[in-house]
Amino acid sequence: MYPAHIESYYRPTTVAEALAAITRQPEGDSMFLAGGQSLMQAIKSRMVRPTSIVDLQSVAELRGIDQANGLRIGAMTRYVEIAEYEQFPAAYAALRDAAERVGDRQVRNRGTIGGSVCWNYVASCLPSVVLALNGTMSLASADGSIRDVKAKDFIIAPLETARREDEILLCVSWPKPPPKTGSAYKKWGLVTDALPVVGMCVSISLDDLGKCRTAQVAVAGLADGAQIADAGGAALIGSAGDEASISAAMNDVADSVETHSDHWADASYREQLIKRLGVEVTLRAFARARR
């Protein structure tokens, strides 16, 4: 299907120009375009009908990964750049795990972290990763103000975030991680190159005895979108990283979230995936935290 008529197309080179362009139209008429991997489908199917497009691909200040002060990933940083970045601390390694397996090569070459979290599609990988890693989204408005929103307040429901339509996502950031912290992500889908049936992300930090001090577990692939599973995080505290305690914690995760049946998988299959993938990624997060 062809898109409905689009009246104007802007290709700004700075954030200020992008914000000026988005506010030129009445609220809701204009949309930012990042990698286009979700938005173009939505425009073609007429799920959304913007009359104006503000294409962010030439805004250089939205690109790049920087560790000068913690970790900062520009909103327009593409999956391929995250997948090829070899200097993530163990604490944030889940970002690379996820980016390496998003879609196919074409999707990874165009799609961006900012587009993924702003679209917040029901089974997307990155929303669950920013939740488990407790990322901060920085949003700028045309009036010059910038506000920081924690992932748990930003990710609301499928296709719904705390971003206002006239706000641009600048970056996702994290502080310098505490020592002995590790994370991991894995998805499973019927088609390798497509959205997951279930994805699991775990972040843990260890105390001096090698026991789990803090833990955060997030699940992708639920009907309600990416969710933090508080029960799983709490159950991992004190674990020495043995398979029995991790397995018990992942049973708690499966019990605490609502799984659904659809044409990809039924609810009990999703529960099994949560347990199996959960054990695998938690063992990897422990191994990374010990390094």
**How far apart, in Å, are the Cα atoms of 159 and each of 103, 154, 225?**
18, 11, 9
Q: List, in sequence order, every residue forming a beta bridge with 9; answer none if it has no partner.
A: 53
Instruction: Tell me which residues in 122-151 interact with ligand FAD (CB under 6 A).
Output: 124-126
In this complex, which beta carbon is closest to ligand FAD, that of residue 75 or of residue 250? 75
* Site residue total, ligand FAD (CB under 6 A): 32
Q: How far apart are CA 176 and CA 118, in angstroms?
A: 24
Contacts (CB under 6 A) with ligand FAD, residues 88-107? 102-103, 107
Nearer to ligand FAD, 144 or 244 (CB): 144
Tokens of 47: 């799920």
In b/e form, how buried is each residue of 156-177, taking b as 16+ CB within 10 angstroms?
Answer: eebeebebeebbbbbbbbbeeb
289 binds ligand FAD (CB under 6 A): no
What CA–CA distance (Å, rounded) separates 242 from 11?
Answer: 52
Q: Is 75 in the site for ligand FAD (CB under 6 A)?
A: yes
Query: Which residue has the closest beta carbon to ligand FAD?
Result: 115
Residue 108: phi, psi to the nearest 5? -70, -30
Q: Considering only residues 169 through 228, tell me which ones interact with ligand FAD, judged by CB under 6 A.
A: 169, 194-196
- The footprint of ligand FAD on residues 17-46 (CB under 6 A) is 31-39
Phi (first) and psi of residue 104, to 5 degrees: -110, -175
Among 57, 90, 97, 114, binds ligand FAD (CB under 6 A): 114
Binding region for ligand FAD (CB under 6 A): 31-39, 56, 75, 102-103, 107, 110-112, 114-116, 118-119, 121, 124-126, 163, 168-169, 194-196
